[in-house]
Amino acid sequence: MADDFVIVRDLHRSFNGFKAVDGVSFTIARGEIFGLLGPNGAGKTTTIRILATVLRPDSGEVIIGGHSATKDPQAVRRIIGVCPQELALYEDLSALENLVFFGRMVGLSGGEAKEQAMANLRLMGLEERAKGKVAKFSGGMKRRINFAIALMGHPELLFLDEPTVGIDPQSRNHIYENIVALKEKGMTVLYTTHYMEEADRLCRRVAVMDGGRIIAMDTPYGLKSRIGDPAKVTLEDVFLHLTGRSLRD
Amino acid sequence: MKRALILALNEVRLYLRDKGDLAFTLLLPIVTFALMYGAFGGASRFNATAYVVDEDGGMYARSLVEGLGRVEGVKVSMLSTEKALARLQDADLNFVLFIPAGFSERLASEGRAELVFRQRGNGGQTGQVLGSIIRGIARDMERDIGIYQKVRSNLAGTGIAVETIDVVVTRLLEEERGNPSVRVKEELTGGTGELVNQYVPSILTMYVLFALMVGARAIVEERRKGTLERLLTTRLSVGELFFGKYIAGIGRGFVQTFILLALSYAVFRMFTPASFLQSLCFVFVYIAAVSALSLVLASVSRTEDAANWIGIVFTMATVILGGTFFEVSEGSLLHTLGRFSINTYANEALKKIIAEGASLGDVVPSLLIFVGVAVVGLILSRLIFRAVSGAR
Ligand SMILES: Nc1ncnc2c1ncn2[C@@H]1O[C@H](COP(=O)(O)OP(=O)(O)OP(=O)(O)O)[C@@H](O)[C@H]1O
Ligand SMILES: [Mg+2]
């Protein structure tokens, strides 16, 4: 498709012989929210790290916005924003300082960084706590800051790796609402989550990964119709159907 | 490059908020300085107490003790045999001079006798200095006795009373002592002769190496926080990342050494404005080299524990080989190994600047070594990081 903003072809990556990503291919259209689902250890984070240019694939190709992630990573970095699965914050700095610092790192001027930081904190409902030290924040607040940092510099493509993990429904809903707003603005997003119902509502298409491979890829509706009446089955049913019920770790 | 500076500023800000690091790097130098002041403040040159056990009690023993007491900076304290042995045993003393019984008698009759230095290890620096002072006095005594005997035997049979001969010889010897044929004149060509000048450079360079331990954690800490990976998805290049860390390392080290230098200036009056500036410049280049080394350590350290251990081992080895705690004697294995310690060059050159009034121009070889280390260190750390991280 000419409109494919992200093209991933036959991606492989092993760690000491263990195949974490084993032949993954998919595309994401501009303005699409693409869900990457899968049990623990499926290889979702590894895939995102390769796309975000922090990890080299053993083989395969990643093209983002027309730039190769391996050959021209610097060009890719200019258009992406990453919300990592693990919190990546300076706990000794304030919320505002964190956002401004990463804003400067993605190329904003001091003034722009401050402006965007305040706007993003407002979006996250953390305006009042802008000057508070992150170390003193609750888990949900830290998650929201982790998410807000990814928005700095208005990236064209967002990688959201379980942005809502381990927080209360209020914080989760808050982040969820923000992703909806981004979707409406036409943001392209690669989204991973273990909340199937979130993925169902947000994503235009989802890929289900297991053991480093994509075992199914379709619209949530399409996937649900594979095992029954799409109005009755949930994406979770599909997920369990595809990946089985055995524990992964 | 601007991003590297912003990163460095961020680093400095984090460092200022970390109370532990701050105490370690800023308070410790001040405490050390206070201790140095306690040890050296106001004292000039050599200052020691010589502990002596006089088991002889004879004339020559007394004159030896008197001679020792006349040496500038030496105080004599007499001990009993038991007490001296006990205190040596307890490591309370490192060096005691024993004048064995019969010393005076044998010296008078045979012209030779023995003194005993009882010491722990090598007697410590003070013990060694006292030892050579005592040897000097003993040599003088021996020479004097020789002169008395020669004069007496030459004048034997002339009918002049021995007492008269001795009185004249004593007077002549005293005259000679007051007007020696080889005179030592002390001239200061800059700096001061103070002992503290020998110590401050070592302490200073040691603190620079301590700063290295903080620097060695620069990358792992960032990795643990997850911010390293996040930074690598921004426009910050690895080169900028390293350069930012490098500048921050220099900043930290410089603040620390500046405090020590400024305190030394104010309290010990060790500097002229010119020598102060030269010391600052010299230390700056040294810190630049050490910071580059710390980045090499940072890039090989995979965990925080590893970073700490590598940092400590490297720092201690460098400090010891650099002759910070004790003089490394020339020609020894340690001396040869010391050539591989960057601290050696820093100590030698800084001592020249502070104690001998040398200028930067006189320490160009050291400066060149530091610049070389800095360049190689930066390149090496960057290469190692790429190889180790498996990323880019
Ligand atoms: N740096 C690494 N070294 C060794 N093994 C790794 C590394 N990174 C990932 N793995 C392994 O690769 C597999 C995939 O990990 P990955 O983090 O991509 O899974 P995931 O789908 O994100 O799982 P989760 O839902 O738990 O986040 C796991 O078995 C993991 O242990
Ligand atoms: Mg993951």
Summarize pLDDT for A111-134 with one digit per residue, the tens: 999 999 999 999 999 999 999 999
* DSSP, residue by residue, B135-190: HHHHHHHHHHHHHHHHHHHHHTTS---HHHHHHHHHHHHHHHHHS-SS------SS
DSSP codes of every residue in A108-119: --HHHHHHHHHH
pLDDT at residue number B311: 87
Q: Specify if A164 maps to a domain.
A: no
Q: Where are the alpha helices (DSSP H) in A62-130?
A: 73-77, 95-105, 110-123
CATH at residue A19: 3.40.50.300
Most B CBs within 10 A among A58, A80, A100, A104, hence the mutation to make, goes to: A104
Question: When comparing pLDDT for A15 and A2, which is higher?
Answer: A15
Q: What is the DSSP letter of A134?
A: G
Q: Is-contact B205 B343, C-beta < 8 A?
A: yes
Distance (Å, rounded) from C-alpha B305 to C-alpha B301?
A: 8
C-alpha B249/C-alpha B261 separation (Å) is 18
**Residues of the domain holding A217:** 1-78+202-249
Nearest Cα residue to atom 31 of ligand 1: A41
Atom of ligand 1 nearest to the CA of A43: 18
The pLDDT score that the predictor gives to residue A191 is 95
* Gap between the Cα atoms of A216 and B239, Å rounded: 41
Q: Give the model confidence (pLDDT) of B110-146 as tens digits.
A: 878 889 999 888 888 888 888 888 898 888 888 888 8
Nearest to B233 among A82, A91, A107 (CB): A82
CA terminus-to-terminus distance, chain A: 37
- Residue A106's pLDDT band (cuts 50, 70, 90): very high
Ligand 1 atom, smallest distance to A162 CA: 27
| Within a domain: A25 | yes
Q: Is A119 inside a domain boundary?
A: no
With respect to residue A165, please indicate whether it lies within any of the assigned structural domains. no
Max CA pair span of chain A: 54
* Residue B41 confidence (pLDDT): 60
B57: Cα separation from own chain's centroid: 39
Model pLDDT, residue B42: 52
Q: Do A105 and B18 touch (CB under 8 A)?
A: no
Give, using CA atoms, the residue closest to atom 12 of ligand 1: A20
Interface check B386 vs A, CB under 8 A: no
Instruction: Write out pLDDT tens, residues B10-50.
Output: 988 888 888 877 777 778 778 877 787 777 665 455 778 89
A186: in domain: no
pLDDT over 60 at A2, yes or no: no
- In this structure, the dihedral spanned by the alpha carbons of residues B319, B324, B329 and B331, taken in order and rounded to 10 degrees, is 30
Distance in angstroms (rounded) separating the CA atoms of residues A235 and B163: 123
Q: Give B-chain residues touching A82 at CB under 8 angstroms.
A: 230, 233
Cβ–Cβ gap A56/B6 under 8 Å: no
Is residue B208 within 8 A of residue A67, CB to CB? The reply is: no
* pLDDT top residue among B353 and A100: A100
Q: Is residue A245 part of a domain?
A: yes
Contacts of A74 in chain B (CB under 8 A): 235, 237
Predicted confidence (pLDDT) at residue A211 exceeds the cutoff of 60:
yes
Predicted local distance difference test score (pLDDT) of residue A7: 96
Contact by Cβ (8 Å): B111, B146: yes
SS3 A210: strand
Q: From CA B281, how far away is CA B258, in angstroms rounded?
A: 11
CA A184, A189, A191, A196: dihedral to nearest 10 degrees? 30
Which residues 6+ apart lie within 8 Å of A174 measured at CB? A124, A125, A144
Residue B98's beta-bridge partner residues? B53, B116
Q: What is the pLDDT of residue B187?
A: 56
Residues A4-62 pLDDT 10s = 999 999 999 999 999 999 999 999 999 999 999 999 999 999 999 999 999 999 999 99
Distance from CA of B46 to the nearest CA of A (A): 49
The per-residue pLDDT for B304 is: 85
Q: Give nearest CA residue, ligand 1 atom 25.
A: A40
Q: Is the separation of the CB atoms in A159 and A48 below 8 Å?
A: yes
Complex ipTM, two decimals? 0.92
Position A190 pLDDT exceeds 50: yes
Nearest C-alpha neighbor of A157 from the set A9, A48, A70, A37: A48
Q: Which two tokens stand for residue A203?
A: 């994503």
Any domain includes A112: no
* Pocket test residue of A11, A13, A46 for ligand 1, highest count of atoms within 8 A of CB: A46
Q: Which long-range contacts (CB under 8 A, 24 or more apart) does A218-226 make?
A: A220/A35
Does residue A44 sit within a domain? yes
Tally of structural domains, chain A: 1
d(CA B165, CA B214): 73
For residue B155, which amino acid is it? Answer: L
Residue ranges and CATH numbers for the domains of chain B are 2-41+193-384 (no CATH), 48-178 (3.40.190)
Token code pair at residue A143: 């998650």
Amino acid (1-letter code) at residue A242: L
Question: Rounded to the nearest whole angstrom, what is the distance from the C-alpha of residue A41 to the centroid of ligand 2?
Answer: 7
A17: left (phi over 0), alpha (psi -120 to 50) or beta: left
| Pair A149, A126: CB distance under 8 Å | no
Q: Is B232 on the interface with A (CB under 8 A)?
A: yes
Asked whether the beta carbons of residue A102 and residue B230 sit closer than 8 angstroms, the reply is: yes
| Cα–Cα separations (whole angstroms), residue A245 to A39, A213, A237, B238 | 10, 17, 11, 43
Residue spans of chain B under pLDDT 50:
43, 188-192, 390-392
Return the residue matching tokens 């595809």: A242
Residue B308: phi, psi to the nearest 5?
Answer: -60, -45
Quickly count helices (H) and strands (E) in chain A.
9, 10
